[in-house]
Amino acid sequence: MSLVEIKGLKVSFRQHGGEVEAVRGVDLSLNEGESLGIVGESGSGKSVTCLALMRLLANTATITADKLELAGIDVLKARNRQMASIRGSAAAMIFQDPATAFDPVFTIGHQMVETIRTHRGLSKKVAMAEAEQLLLKVEIKNATDVLGYYPHQLSGGMLQRAMIAMALSCRPKVLIADEPTTALDVTIQAQILQLIKGLQAEMGMALIMITHDLGVIAETVDRVVVMYGGKVMEEGPVEEIFDNPRHSYTQSLLASLRAGETRRPEPVSSEPVAPALELKNLSKIYKLRRQGRIFSRYTDFSAVRGVDLVLPRNKIVGLVGESGSGKSTTGMMAMRLLEPTAGRIVVDGADISELGIEALKPYRKSMQVIFQDSYSALDPMMTLSQIIAEPLDIHHMGTSRERLEQALGWLERVGLDRSYGTRYPHELSGGQRQRVAIARALILGPKVLVADEPTSALDVSVKAQIIGLLKNLQTQMGLSMLFISHDLSVVRSLTDTVVVMYKGRVVEQAPTASIFANPRHPYTRSLLDAIPVTNPRDRRKRTFLQQADIDRATPHYVVAELPGHVQPAPEPQLVAVAPGHLVEAVVTR
């Protein structure tokens, strides 16, 4: 039986000065038990389509369609009460940001019970027991406690699970998941996806998975619909789409996805020269205030603990880890934007750890940074040419005319037309803004560039373009780059060496090829295991390690097995198990 029937759907929004067409004629159908993936970049209309289906769009939206049916009900003509009765019971929706899906002033339990009682009319007590069962089903171990928690007391991953539990509480026939894992770490993402698939199979639900990530598609669905600019570009079974994409847009999406599989060619090795950047035993300890009875107590939180890192000349080192690993903190300390609690930073042989602002200024010319959020990285009140020329301005280089010329030259170098010089940041797309940020960072010709997740906020195809740009510029300028990211596929295609961080320490470090071919540390392995597949045929079931498991699985070596001189110690330390390949391990006699 057909659960969802959409024919000729058009959605437009009234805005300041005109209409914006978000969806321009979309056909879609879904039967019971099927799983459908809708893939597209931001602005493709994929979310709007499903919101229109549930009739959750604002009044400023105009919806027209030849047919718009959900669970047999004509969505265009249904009365409010009818819509309310199928929402949550016939069709349930989960969102990208779980924190915004819960009312902050009520407990999780209250909100789950509310849903259950609305659709199933159970008594409070029975509903609460149901809710507890559901929380256990989504692998929340302390379900009884969580029922009494408020949303702000739970972490992102837990909240996501609770949201899934709430969505499933009324046994919906179809679950619509709108980018449910986009904001999560890759290991958590893998767990959640596996959870969703498992629950789908168990409850015989249909699934609509909306995402921009083809990897997620490959992992979870049987049929795919590719959307761009409000229209459907291509659709078909998932193997077809991955093996034989017919539309050029689909092909380019796949190309961007698979770009992660090509390796960076080995650069020609030159004479030994001092490394461009060296971090020695870098640490950062924060004092956290915890609420005590009367006074606040302070505890120490080690964001980064004893990190050693070497960035050789003309190479790209990837610094990889999930949220809380300390990778961004390390990057910021390397730039001295954050003061280290301990450790040394050596740039091109010179120790800059203790220098004051004035003494640091000349070194600022040789190390630069680009950030993740391109919007907040550019001053909204300055034109692009002013932004790019700012470094020249700060260091008093050249006349204002010369600065303008240089800025415009760089604008072209990063792929934007010179005429853009008079525009403002808000007129650009995310990718274009990031290009401007790159131009600003490189205009002084630095030797070291720290890139803090520069592509994490970008769409798939734009990601590939920016990576390509960075690759080119690096080769042209002989830059040494520290590339911080949580996205392993990007790191794979870009870097020479990978450093893996976990909870503030380096747990493994090796040339890129070795890390992917032969990971030694359990955390690295779980990280690699969690990467979504790039081909649906490679789908597999995974087991996930908790932190305790990771600690237990720390590799143990005996002194004799290791090259070089190593001192045995009860705590884990970083040791070389092969040339250039370091692992955190416990060494015994």
Partner 1 sequence: MIVYLIKRLLSIALTFFIVSLVIFLMMHSVPGGPFDGNDMPVSAAVRAKLMARLGLDQPLWVQYVNYMSGVLQGDFGVPYQSPGETVISLLKQAWLPSLILGGSGVIIGATLGVLIGMAAALKRNSWIDYLASGLSVLGLTIPVFVISMMLILIFAVWLGWLPASGWGKPERWVLPIVAYAAIPLATYARYTRSAMLDTLNRPFVTALRAKGLSEGRIIFQHVLRNSAIPMVTVFLPMFIGTATGSIFVEAMFRIPGLGSYFVSSIENRDYPLEMALVLMVTVGICFAYLISDIAYAWLNPRIRLGDDAR
Partner 2 sequence: MSTEIETGAAVLAVPVTSRQRSPAYFAWRRFVANKAAVVGGVVLVIVVLMAILAPLFTKTDPSAQAYLTQSLAFPSAEFWFGVDDLGRDFFTRVVYGARVSLSIGFAAATFSLLIGIPIGAIAGYFGGRIDWLIMRVIEIFSVVPSLLAAMLLGALTGGGYVTIVVIAAAFGWFGVCLLVRAQVKSFREKDFVRAAQALGASPWYILRRHVIPNSLSPIIVGFVLAMPGAMMLEASLSFLGIGVAPPTPSWGQMINVGINFMFFYWHMAVFPTAALAITVLATTLFGDGLRDALDPTLKGR
Determine if 139 is a binding residue for partner 1 (CB under 8 A). Answer: no
Out of 106, 286, 298, 301, the only residue in the binding site for partner 1 (CB under 8 A) is 106
- For the CB of residue 409, give the shortest distance to partner 2 in the complex, in Å: 14
Total residues in contact with partner 1, by rule CB under 8 A: 39
What CA–CA distance (Å, rounded) separates 283 from 309? 12
Determine if 294 is a binding residue for partner 1 (CB under 8 A). Answer: yes
Between the CA atoms of 535, 537, 538 and 544, what dihedral angle is there, to the nearest 10 degrees? 110
Residue 327 CB neighbours (<10 A): 28
- For the CB of residue 54, give the shortest distance to partner 1 in the complex, in Å: 6
Residue closer to partner 2, measured from CB, 102 or 371: 371
Residue closer to partner 2, measured from CB, 40 or 532: 40
Determine if 115 is a binding residue for partner 1 (CB under 8 A). Answer: yes
What CA–CA distance (Å, rounded) separates 319 from 314? 16
Determine if 293 is a binding residue for partner 1 (CB under 8 A). Answer: yes
What CA–CA distance (Å, rounded) separates 448 from 445? 9
What CA–CA distance (Å, rounded) separates 459 from 444? 29
Which 8-state DSSP code applies to residue 269?
Answer: P
Rg (the chain; Cα; Å): 26
Structure tokens belonging to residue 298 = 């302070």
Type of residue at 491: V
Site for partner 1 in 45-64 (CB under 8 A): 51, 54, 56
Determine if 133 is a binding residue for partner 1 (CB under 8 A). Answer: no
Residue closer to partner 2, measured from CB, 344 or 423: 423
Long-range contacts of 522-526 (CB under 8 A, 24+ apart): 522/549, 522/550, 522/553, 522/554, 522/555, 523/550, 524/500, 526/187, 526/550
Out of 21, 27, 41, 97, the only residue in the binding site for partner 1 (CB under 8 A) is 97
- Helix, strand or coil, per DSSP, at residue 412: helix
Q: What residues make contact with partner 2 under the rule CB under 8 A?
A: 16, 228, 248-249, 251-253, 255-256, 259, 335, 337, 357, 360-361, 364-365, 367-369, 371, 373, 376-381, 390-391, 394-395, 414-415, 419, 422-424, 426-429, 432, 437, 440-441, 444, 461-462, 464-465, 467-469, 471-472
From partner 2, partner 1, none, interface partner of 115 (C-beta below 5 to 8 A by class): partner 1
Determine if 158 is a binding residue for partner 1 (CB under 8 A). Answer: yes
> How far is C-alpha 389 from the chain's CA centre?
31
What CA–CA distance (Å, rounded) separates 339 from 546? 32
- For the CB of residue 241, give the shortest distance to partner 1 in the complex, in Å: 28
- Footprint on this chain of partner 1 (rule: CB under 8 A): 51, 54, 56, 80-81, 84-89, 92-93, 95, 97, 100-106, 114-115, 118-119, 149-150, 152-155, 158, 166, 170, 290-291, 293-294
